[in-house]
Structure 1
Amino acid sequence: MSKITHEHLGRQAIVYIRQSTADQVANNLESQRRQYGLADRARQLGWSDVAVIDDDLGRSGGGVARPGFEKLLAAICEGRVGAVVSIEASRLARNGRDWHTLLEFCGLVGTLILDEDGIYDARHPNDRLLLGMKGTMSEMELSVLRQRSLEALKQKARRGELFMTVAIGYVRIGNNRIEKDPDRRIVEAIALIFAKFAERVDRDIGAEVIVRLQPLGIEAALAAQTVRSRASEDKRRQVELALEQARYEVGRARRQYDAVDPDNRLVAAELETRWNERLTVVRDLETDLEELTTSSATEPTPVDHERLMLLGADLQRAWTSAGVTSEAKKRIVRTLIDEIVVRVEDSTLDLVIRWHGGAHSALKVKKNRSGQHRWSAEGETIDLVRVLARQMPDRAIASVLNRAGKTTGRGNGWTQSRVCSLRNHNEIPAYREGERQERGEVTLDEAATGSVCQPIDRAPSDQRWSTFGEPAL
């Protein structure tokens, strides 16, 4: 006897459609066609009023909020649904709570459940048992899929290939690759950040390198260079073996291509493609071998060894010599230092230097204040300008600084505009004409010429003089 009655056909049939992820919605189009095609099956079974609920496309059935499923339950409770049509039980729910709630509601109002396998009435014990088993199997299947996915993520993490998020300035390419952001504005901004950051620590790193580059440190560097030379030789040997195997594969591919009937183009084309692929592998390995051969580290000669040992006795003068370029210093740093780990604290930078060979050094570098940089004027010069600004204008201050041998942060001489810029940056008030007289101060030149004969309301002992023709401090 058919389970579909006139009472069921008098109500509405609802086709419930769901796919778990946005990727499935975009790419698994065949599943969508099958699910939407269930509306035709409902009409073939006798329903004239067929509705489709597809609000849950891209939503998991494992317990997350699903507005489409909630709409379905509300319609069932209103008693206007004769049948719920789904391609399989897992589309309706992937957890026991939602599944058994659906069964209870369908049993109370007499709503049928249809899938590709059959028609079920939740009021019948046998159908209820079968539906319960389908729901349990669906929930178990999701649990197994989750466990497999979790293990796969752990394996990728162990290999260093798991990228959940990427750092600022990088973008994800495919599933397991990252590259620099092609946006030139972002690239230049990050480069500027690193350049400014390096300005804070290069002086302290240089001092630490000088300390380390004593004869004992040079001996360690020589030993590390020998170890790297051996490692490079081992790597080169592995590439040579791989190249030998690749050349054998090329020969075999060529023999297979020569042996095929030329008229059999389908087979010949495939064999030719394989032959070309193996030739590409050989070329790549030959390039790698050539690079390893030309760039492999060699052990220093006795003459080089003696020169390096003598370097420790006069390293400070050699490092600070004007003839030593920044590129040469960088090469020395790269030779000695493997990496530098920096942790930013409130007012300092904590640096851990890891040297080639395994040794570590800890440094603390004071952070620059806002607006401070490596080209800032010395604090002594700023203090001097702060005092002089109470007694003379910017042009005279520039003259005094130049006579005293003071220079700007970039080593330039002082001018009126540079003194003005320094004052404004350090919030030093400009000199106001006549303020020295208001304070009762005169220069030695003014006293000698008698331009100030009598101090106003001050005793002669209260006058202050300077020895270089300027007011005393």
Structure 2
Amino acid sequence: MSQGELRPVHLQRKAYVYVRQSSTTQMLEHAESKKRQYALVERAVALGWPREAVEVVDEDQGKSGASTEGRAGFSRLVDAVAHGEVGAIFALEVSRLARSSVDWQRLLALCAVAQVVVVDESTLYDPAEGDDKLLLDLKGTMSEAELHWLGLRMVGARQSKARRGELHMRVPTGYVWTERGLELDPDEAIQRAVRLVFERFRVEPSACAVVRWMNERGLVFPTRRPASEGGEVEWKKLGVTRLTELLHNPIYAGAYAYGRRPRSKVLVRGEIHRVRAAGRAPEEWTVCKRDAHPGYIDWETFLSNQEKLRQNLVRSHEASPGAPREGRALLAGLLLCGRCGRRMRTSYGRRGQLHWYYFCPGARDQSGRSLCWMTCGEPLDVAVEELFLKTLVPDELDLSLAVEREVGAQAQELQKQWQARLEQARYEARRAERRYKAVEPENRVVARTLERQWEERLQELEEVERRYAEARRSRHVELSEQERRRIRELAKDLPSVWRASTTGTADKKAMLRLVVESIALTPVDVPRRTIRIQVQWQGGAVTQLQVPRPTEREKLRTPDAVVERIRTMAAQGLRDEDMAEQLNAEGIRTAAGARWTLLAVRWVRYHHDIVLVAPDAPRAWPLPERHPDGRYSLTGAAKRFGVTPTVVRGWIRRGLVPARREDFESRRAVYWLEIDEDTAKRLQTLVASRRAASKRTGAGRPSGVHAS
């Protein structure tokens, strides 16, 4: 198509000049390409379009043409073509418009129907004509293939450089690039912080526990900015996401790795997205050079950390125990079904974590109709706990020495960490002071800024010193001889440590998993209902025991010890309400886990034929309307204001009238109300307004109901 074949329909519409470069680097370094693209405006004017009818689309600068994702300018251009607003599209070459044949063909199809021409520096093309369409198709295919070839060359060059270990990548905190390659960060405070995290993960059961431990002690973690951003170090709280990335990074194990998580295309809700693949095994990485640089941990520790993280990640389709949590179910994550071999799960009852059950979903997963089986969790936990405390009796001397060494090493590492932070904060304060004193006093503009920075460094130093003093006082950064003696004593008495109030359920689960690999539960129906427990220890030995498996009715049966306790109290002359109060005071609960009431005690006595020997309580005389000191009872206040006692109770709950509960003669904890003149007027006004509202609505209800 020649230039003379432009038709009026083209010139009556706008001319769109599409400008795009693939990256910011090209925009800065390839200025000539940018000039040539913007010069297409003059070519449009020379072809007959008024300058005001030429629109430049340059929103896609710095974006790849491999797809339309994120290219708002290209989407606007396609929309304008579809609405018949475009007469010609000017582009330096096909690759500026699209590097994808799909996007290019769609644009050409729209141009052919809407009578839009495509123009470059030298030629005009009409997509509606066969020869021009064929030529444009070839150019689009070559543009897409060119992008593929460029990618192959770039990826090949990167992989070749990575195989030699010379490809520079952004290194994590704790490392720096030097002429000799990757080396440990010269800042000792950063090195100590990184080593402390790995040492603590070796002790703690999960990454969340490490983060919680550091936050409780006020410890922060460093982040070194890239050299392009100044290389400054920022100390802030460590998060779970950041810690997980650190634990997954093989650089800390001295390995140079490339291609751990390659990008791939996936379908998400009918659209193609590029995502990074999940973490793969080291043998599947493109490059994995072990012992390539100094490491904070060895390779075996890195692999064990990956397995520990994988085991802590609970997924329905994986048989992983998960990380120890604070739920009261002690055996959660360790149980296997003796029938089908699946991992059993935990379910807490309606009363929160007061009762819990272990169940196997095997049959439900296969048929969707019912569970494989389930059982109450408390008896199993008690049995395994007794077995654990009875079996685990290590050499007391070796254990106490090992615990003392571990606690002492942790305290020493914390001490070094705080000392490094203090030293760094003092250095920053001294440097800010030197900078302030070096400036000329007459240069007040600079002096004021440096003085403010000096003041900020001094405040940071004071804050670090305050936190360090608090940590020494409350977190035992330095262990005294008395504390060391107490640690030795506790190390010799494992049951005391286990039952201590400071030992949480998560700590108990972590201790149990150190020696127990798994526990298999098998229901037994004959000769009697029991559960066979097979405990497999970490060393491979197996211990077997059996516990009763009560029915649902037996679970709600009052224990014999409680029945005997009620029988004894009844023989001592206590009444039902006194026995309920005594049982609650002793911390005894019903079989359902509720508090004892008069009716609950009476029900137990009825079923077990326990007879009261206490004489009947004398009949209580009704309370007087007024106390001798002038206060009102519930009935007295209700009678004075013409309402029911229930309404008066509502006033007490809402704080409208002051009241106090006291014993009066044979009655216990009865309400006495203090009603002065102001309170009486306020209550009378409230009752009157409620009655008036009731009359207006025609509800016909007693005024006392509304007054509540």
* TM-score, length basis structure 2: 0.32
Greater relative CO, 1 or 2 (CA 8 Å, sep 6+): 1
> 1 or 2, which has the higher helix percentage?
1
